[in-house]
Amino acid sequence: MISQPSGGTAVKRFFEDLVSGGLQLSPESVPLRERVLDRLADLMFCADDVLEMLSSDPSATLRACEKPVRSAYDSINSLMKTLCD
C-alpha cells in the first residue's frame, strides 16, 4: 500500500489526483525535446533488442540485417547525445 506523503495541501491534492487517476498529463504538456528523446530511446531499445535476437541466431541467416541495424542504433545514439548537450 502506498502511504500518503506528509506536506502541504498542494502535495496532498497532487497525491490524491495521482492515485485516483485524476491527474492526466497531455503530450503537449511535455516539452517537445523530451518527447523526441523519449521516442528515440524507444527506437534504441528496439534496435538493441533486434541486435540481441540476431546474435542468438544459430543459423546466421539474418546476419545481413546486423550491420544496418547497428548503424541505425549508432546514429540514434549520436543524435540523442547531440540533443542532450
Q: Which residue has the higher pLDDT, 61 or 22?
A: 61
**Please, are residues 35 and 80 in contact by the beta-carbon 8 Å criterion?**
no
Quote the pLDDT of residue 39. 95
Residue type, 77: N
Q: What is the pLDDT of residues 11-37, one digit of tens each?
A: 667 667 667 776 666 777 889 999 999
Do 23 and 62 form a contact (C-beta atoms < 8 A)?
Answer: no
Domain positions in the chain are 31-84
Write the CB contacts of 53 (distance below 8 Å, at least 6 apart in sequence).
none
CB atoms within 10 A of CB 47: 20
Distances in Å between the Cα of 38 and the Cα atoms of 34, 45, 47 are 6, 11, 14
